[in-house]
Amino acid sequence: MAGIDIEGLATVYPNGVRAVDGLDLQVADGEFFALLGPSGCGKTTLLRTIAGLETATEGTVRIDAADVTRTDPGKRGVAMVFQDYALFPHMSVSENITYPLKVRRVAAATRASVASRTAGELSLDGLLERKPGQLSGGQQQRVALARAIASEGKVLLLDEPLSNLDARLRLEARTFLKKLQRDLGITTVFVTHDQAEALALADRIAVMESGKLRQLGSPREVFARPANTFVANFIGSTPMNLIPGRITEPVDQGDVVVSVAGGSLPATTFVAVADVEVTVGIRPEYLTLTTNDVSGPALRGTVLVAENLGTQSLVTVDCDGTLVGVTVPEEDEPAAGTAVTLTAPVSRVLLYDRETGELLT
Ligand code: ATP
């Protein structure tokens, strides 16, 4: 088992694209770590640079405290699962799983026992003699994982491991992967562009944009306190409301009232915010909708439309021209045109610098 230590890492392609642009991060021993970000943000390049399939232009990669920045991929002690699984079509499942051992000239009897043990761990019993073409997508994905695990790397690298599966299989495979990682305790880095997948699986998430790290934290941290408006926009199945506002009382820090279109919201800040134009961040799940009068800071508006999300509805309220989303239990869905009031607990209202987009609270 091993941790990964990345320092000042940059990977520049020959065409000049700085796909990874000055990154520092540490992955702890045994951690399940997600690289998350939109298409083109550099997450696959970072994974491939850790694996040694791309060459770092600047900085260092250490695995288990050893500097592997210039080490061949085969000698880094990493096992990688590719997005398309990269199975050998002419080999059986058993031969696919034990291929890395064959390359290392491990004896046939040992290989057979590793194949049967790993197949057991990954629920592939009974499929060892089949060819990849005779397997479902989910089974192929598990063979690719089995091959990576059987190679006994110190670190497991997964590039969008669930993206080739349909929605239902994907949920099943997600649970399976989480349990497997926990049981094996192997340090795992996985790439995904799916924020729900990262939130569900990872111990910690690195959110990337344009080759840079925008936030590093637990799923709870990145969901509840996005460090900037980029992360706020990216995380959450219903997007966070980001509303332009102005702090009305001339205070430096502490409890403040922010005036926004349609009314005001309470907030707390620990940095000097007097005379700062802000963006107020509030998740639809943390707003309360009522048709009653309320005292204290609140937003007033008219229901524009409601979308059914299953047990919840996402209601869009027009607050003086600014559209604000709020989730309500499906049975409480108000009709379009209803005049409503929205309130939020002070602990859930985030303030971002309007210019830089960085968190002020
Ligand atoms: P996706 O989710 O779409 O796979 P990603 O976040 O994994 O995206 P990368 O594939 O790492 O992003 O790409 C990062 C940047 O580097 C992009 O701008 C991409 O166009 C560029 N890039 C990727 N591979 C190469 C290459 N071989 N040569 C030149 N540029 C590349």
Reading the block at residue 90, the tokens are 């002419």
- Do 257 and 288 fall within a single domain? yes
- Identify whether residues 203 and 129 lie together within a single domain: yes
- Tell me the CA–centroid distance for residue 174 and ligand 1, in Å: 25
Q: Specify the residue with its C-alpha closest to ligand 1, atom 17.
A: 40
- Expressed in angstroms and rounded, the spacing between residue 44 Cα and the centre of ligand 1 is 7
- 227, 324: one domain: no
Burial of 7 (0-12, 13-18, 19+ CB in 10 A): middle
- On whether residue 119 sits in a domain, the answer given is yes
Do 266 and 215 lie in one domain? The reply is no
Reading the chain (361 residues) residue by residue, the pLDDT tens digits are 589 999 999 999 999 999 999 999 999 999 999 999 999 999 999 999 999 999 999 999 999 999 999 999 988 989 988 888 889 999 999 889 988 888 888 888 888 888 888 888 888 888 989 999 999 888 888 899 888 888 878 899 999 888 877 777 788 888 888 888 888 889 999 999 999 999 999 999 999 999 999 999 999 999 999 999 999 999 988 889 999 998 876 555 678 888 889 999 988 887 766 667 899 999 999 999 999 988 889 999 999 999 999 899 999 999 999 999 999 999 999 999 999 999 999 999 999 999 999 998 7
Q: Are residues 230 and 265 in the same domain?
A: no
Residue 15 Cα: closest atom of ligand 1? 29
| CATH code of the domain in which 344 resides | 2.40.50.100
Domain co-membership, 85 together with 180? yes
The interface predicted TM-score (ipTM) is 0.97
253 and 171 share a domain?
Answer: no
User: What is the model's pTM?
Assistant: 0.90
Statement to judge: residues 47 and 164 lie in one domain: yes
Best residue among 41, 84, 194 to mutate for probing ligand 1's pocket (most ligand atoms within 8 Å of CB) is 41
Mutate to test the pocket of ligand 1, among 11, 12, 13, 46 (most ligand atoms within 8 A of CB): 13
Asked if the structure places residue 361 within a domain, the reply is: no
Residues 221 and 79 in one domain: yes
Question: Which of these three, 192, 217, 234, is where a domain ends?
Answer: 234
Question: Which of 212, 234, 256 is the last residue before a domain boundary?
Answer: 234
Binding pocket residue ranges, ligand 1, CB within 6 Å:
13, 15, 17, 19, 37, 39-45, 193
Which CATH number characterizes residue 201's domain? 3.40.50.300
Residue 225 lies in a domain: yes
- Report how far residue 60's alpha carbon sits from residue 57's, in angstroms, rounded to the nearest whole number: 9
- Supply the range of the domain harboring residue 81: 4-234
Phi and psi at residue 4, to the nearest 5°: -120, 135
Q: How far is the CA of 78 from the centre of ligand 1 (A)?
A: 21
Contact 160, 125 (CB under 8 A): no
Ligand 1 center to 45 CA (angstroms): 6
Residues 121 and 262 placed together within one structural domain of the fold: no
- List strand residue ranges (DSSP E) for 241-338, in order: 241-247, 254-260, 263-269, 277-282, 288-290, 299-308, 312-319, 322-329
- Closest Cα to atom 1, ligand 1: which residue? 39
Residues 85 and 126 reside in one and the same domain: yes
347 within some domain: yes
Reduce the DSSP state of residue 1 to 3 states and report it: coil
Assigned domain for 297 exists: yes
Task: Count structural domains, the chain.
Answer: 2
Q: Are residues 151 and 177 located together in one domain of the fold? A: yes
Q: Among 170, 199, 234, where does a domain finish?
A: 234
